[in-house]
């Protein structure tokens, strides 16, 4: 069958560019129709690379009256009986995606650039001697007076300046103060404003954009708008049938197998307990373009400030995969930068998502949304505990996988020696024990499909089981004890009985770690007879 290759809008955030150049577009215009006909100011939180900028670009095109760009889309039919549709309004699009907000005055520089352009557009004398908020107010009033229509305010990634300055408390507070003054106009000039839509990754509850604008409707966790960004399963099946066919052919698998793998890799985001689940659009489009199941989301940036905060708070990383992360809807919607609980921020930034809803207390169990996020995040977390764990370090996961697949016990031991030797130094015994446990957890979790951690048997629970085509490894870890005792526990608790009829070679491995020397100081192996 001849392949159909289409233009996929990878990294393209302009609705106009997508429509003019005939890129594939997932029709989100019914959401646009609902939004613009309610005349309510909105806020939407979604992770990075999730289509927020494209959504705002689409809203901009609508309010500018660009009917030509919406030809053939659902909103064209929805607006057919509306005689006031497609009338142009003055639009003020504040884009905070650009700029290095770790630098002083970077936020003011972005605002200044916008204001200068708007003052010129509406024939106003540059208000260099006036404050930024007063100049913005003057522009809004001039636009309303000159056009006779209310202004449309679109704010993209409002929180980028705060997120990038979180490690600099003085700069963070400064940026908050700048926002307080500038966006207070959105409420005081309500009579001159037709529509407001603000997006970001997080909702900082102490930033006055929300305390001053208490009329903003937060649709981040509403059922009606759960699918407004991202790609739902129905949309993928309807709009990307050619790409699924091409990908399946490239991978030599059936379309059913291809779809299942795509779902496992990129699906899983939920923003309401009954809302539609969605795929990460950036990763999905890249996968379709390459026809490979690659890892794309982390190519756009690693969550360094999140990793550092997790390490500093001694967060138990094992909670990421044992279904013990909980939060209420209120906790997840509002984030305070001085809040020691990092779970709301991990949710808002897309590293965790809603997994299970508990109606009795309006809370959720949270988990990684998919494989791409799970393994990418844990790989980012590993260097914070063991230093360099990249290729060629002697302690990288790919090297360990190869040794496990080949049954090279000496090399497996050497990798563990290198891992434990690389544990970040800390003078606190409690913290050091936490690091030790975390390194074990991260190592075995990143081995992926080979591993079963804390597997229950009829008599107990073994620390870790690793299975390959040829080998089975039963690991028991001790601290400040002995490898012999760890091995004896495997024997006494009959952990190997489950594999009595298995033809693969089975190794029982007892490991001991010394907190005094901070080294692996015991490694005992027994074969299954």
Is the pLDDT at 457 greater than 50? The verdict is no
Distance CA 464, CA 470 (A): 17
Which comes out higher in pLDDT, residue 441 or 460?
A: 441
Q: pLDDT (tens digit, 9 = 90+) per residue, 66-102?
A: 999 999 999 999 999 998 899 999 999 999 988 788 8
Structure confidence at residue 438 (pLDDT): 84
State the DSSP string of 112-139.
Answer: HHHHHHHHHHTTPPP-TTS-HHHHHHHH
Give 458's pLDDT tier (boundaries 50, 70, 90). Answer: very low
What's the half-sphere exposure (Cβ side, CA atoms, 13 Å) at 356? 8
In the numeric block, the tokens 């207070």 are attached to: 184
Rg (CA), the chain: 27
Write down the mean pLDDT value for the chain: 88
Residues 309-362 pLDDT 10s: 888 888 888 888 888 899 998 888 766 666 678 898 899 889 999 999 999 888
pLDDT in tens, 18-50: 999 999 999 999 999 999 998 789 999 999 889
For the chain, how are helix, strand and coil distributed in percent, rounded to 5? 45, 15, 40
Whether residue 420 contacts residue 520, with contact meaning beta carbons closer than 8 Å, is answered with yes
Beta-bridge mates of residue 252: none
Please identify which residue in the block is written with the tokens 């002083």.
104
Q: Can you list the domains of the chain with their CATH numbers? A: 27-218 (3.40.50.300), 231-299 (no CATH), 302-374 (no CATH), 385-527 (3.40.1350)
**Pair 143, 151: CB distance under 8 Å:** yes
The alpha carbon dihedral of 492, 495, 500, 506 has a sign of: negative
247-273 burial code (b ≥16 CB/10 A, e <16)? bbeeeeeeeeebbebbbebbbbbbbbb
Average confidence (pLDDT) over 422-433: 67
Q: Over range 239-245, report the average pLDDT.
A: 95
Asked whether residue 2 carries a pLDDT value surpassing 70, the answer given is no
Q: Which of 75-79, 469-473, 501-505 has the highest mean pLDDT?
A: 75-79
In 54-172, the DSSP E strands lie at: 91-95, 151-156
Q: Are 163 and 97 in contact (CB under 8 A)?
A: no
For residues 462 and 455, is the Cβ–Cβ distance under 8 A?
A: yes
Give me the helix-helix angle, 409-421 and 429-446, nearest 10°: 140
pLDDT bucket at 207, cuts 50 / 70 / 90: low
């Amino acid at each position: 069958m001849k392949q159909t290759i289409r233009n996929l809008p990878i990294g393209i955030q302009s609705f106009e560019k997508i429509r003019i150049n005939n890129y594939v577009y997932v029709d989100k215009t019914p959401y646009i129709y609902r939004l613009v006909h309610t005349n309510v100011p909105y806020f939407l939180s979604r992770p990075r690379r999730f289509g927020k900028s494209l959504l705002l670009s689409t809203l901009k095109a609508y309010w500018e009256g660009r009917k030509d760009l919406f030809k053939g889309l659902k909103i064209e039919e929805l607006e057919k009986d509306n005689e006031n549709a497609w009338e142009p309004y003055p639009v003020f699009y504040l884009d905070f995606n650009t700029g290095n907000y770790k630098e002083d005055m970077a936020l003011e520089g972005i605002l200044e650039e916008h204001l200068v352009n708007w003052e010129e557009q509406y024939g106003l004398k540059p208000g260099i001697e006036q404050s930024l908020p007063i100049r913005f107010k003057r522009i809004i009033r001039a636009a309303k007076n000159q056009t006779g229509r209310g202004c449309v305010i679109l704010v993209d990634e409002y929180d980028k300046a705060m997120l990038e300055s979180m490690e600099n408390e003085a700069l963070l507070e400064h940026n908050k103060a700048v926002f307080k003054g500038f966006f207070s106009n959105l409420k005081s000039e309500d009579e001159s404003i037709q529509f407001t839509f603000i997006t970001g990754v997080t909702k900082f509850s102490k930033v006055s954009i929300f305390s001053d604008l208490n009329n903003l409707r937060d649709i981040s966790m509403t059922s009606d708008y759960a699918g407004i960004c991202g790609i739902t399963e129905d949309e993928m099946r309807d709009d990307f049938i050619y790409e699924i066919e091409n990908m399946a052919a490239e991978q030599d698998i059936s379309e059913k197998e291809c779809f299942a793998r795509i779902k496992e890799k990129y699906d899983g985001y939920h923003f309401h307990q009954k809302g539609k689940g969605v795929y990460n659009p950036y990763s999905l489009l890249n996968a379709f373009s390459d026809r490979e199941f690659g890892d794309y989301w982390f190519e756009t940036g690693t969550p360094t400030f999140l990793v550092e905060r997790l390490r500093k708070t001694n967060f138990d990383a094992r909670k990421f995969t044992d279904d013990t992360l909980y939060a209420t809807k209120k906790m997840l919607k509002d984030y305070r930068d001085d809040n020691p609980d990092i779970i709301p921020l991990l949710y808002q930034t897309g590293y965790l998502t809603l997994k299970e809803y508990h109606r009795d207390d309006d809370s959720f169990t949270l988990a990684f949304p998919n494989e791409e996020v799970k393994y990418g995040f844990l790989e980012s977390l590993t260097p914070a505990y063991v230093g360099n764990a990249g290729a060629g370090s002697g302690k990288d996961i790919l090297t360990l996988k190869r040794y496990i697949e080949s049954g090279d016990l000496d090399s497996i031991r050497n990798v563990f020696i290198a891992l434990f030797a690389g544990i970040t130094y800390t003078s606190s015994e409690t913290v050091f024990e936490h690091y030790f446990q975390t390194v074990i957890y991260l190592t075995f979790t990143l081995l992926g499909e080979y591993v079963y951690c804390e597997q229950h048997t009829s008599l107990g629970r073994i620390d870790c089981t690793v299975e390959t085509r040829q080998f089975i490894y039963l690991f028991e870890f001790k601290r400040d004890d002995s490898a012999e005792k760890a091995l004896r526990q495997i024997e006494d608790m009959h952990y190997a009985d489950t594999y009595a009829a298995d033809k693969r070679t089975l190794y029982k491995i007892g490991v001991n770690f010394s907190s005094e020397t901070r080294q692996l100081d015991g490694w005992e192996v027994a074969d299954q007879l």
